[in-house]
Amino acid sequence: MKRIEGRIGKGNEKASVFFQKAYRVVSQIPKGRVATYGDIASALGISGGARAVGRAMSMNQDTRTVPCHRVVRSDGHVGGYAKGFLAKMALLKKEGVSVDDFNRKIIDFETVRFKKFRKKSRG
């Protein structure tokens, strides 16, 4: 966990353990795939704590350490982004995820949806 711990320290020293775990789960999302806040929360062990996850994402300023842009809403909406949903859609499209610029929603959401999270990074 120290790996991320150091990264988070980059202006986010207030990050709690819960946040660090959230970042770790999000970082598990492979390229070209997306996940929902609820799934992230569930992976962390808190079902219904989607909002808490959202907070963790918002708190994260290092978009390079954590691919928070791969986290979208359960309804397929791209959701928000520290840099703006525009940047979020751009990143997703660059990775191969089809996004609707008009409705700002993920195309084939259920297809690119990644929910094969693991509780421990040890595999």
Partner DNA sequence: TGTGTGACAAAGC
Partner DNA sequence: AGCTTTGCCACAC
What does the alpha-carbon distance between residue 63 and residue 10 come to, in Å, rounded to a whole number? 12
| Tokens (6 digits) for 60 | 């994260």
* 3/115 with CB nearer DNA: 115
Q: State which of residues 5, 75, 100, 101 lies at the interface with DNA (CB under 7 A).
A: 75
Distance in Å, CB of 76 to DNA, minimum: 9
Give the residue from 97, 114, 94, 122 showing the smallest Cα distance to 29. 114
Decide: is 113 part of the binding site for DNA (CB under 7 A).
no
What does the alpha-carbon distance between residue 11 and residue 108 come to, in Å, rounded to a whole number? 36
Q: Site map for DNA, 33-62, x if CB under 7 A?
A: ---xxx-------x-xxxxxxxx-xx-x--
What does the alpha-carbon distance between residue 61 and residue 24 come to, in Å, rounded to a whole number? 15
The continuous run of DSSP H or E covering 35 comes out as: strand 35-36
* 24/81 with CB nearer DNA: 81
Q: State the residues that interact with DNA by CB under 7 A.
A: 14, 16-19, 36-38, 46, 48-55, 57-58, 60, 63, 68-69, 71, 73-75, 79-82, 88, 103
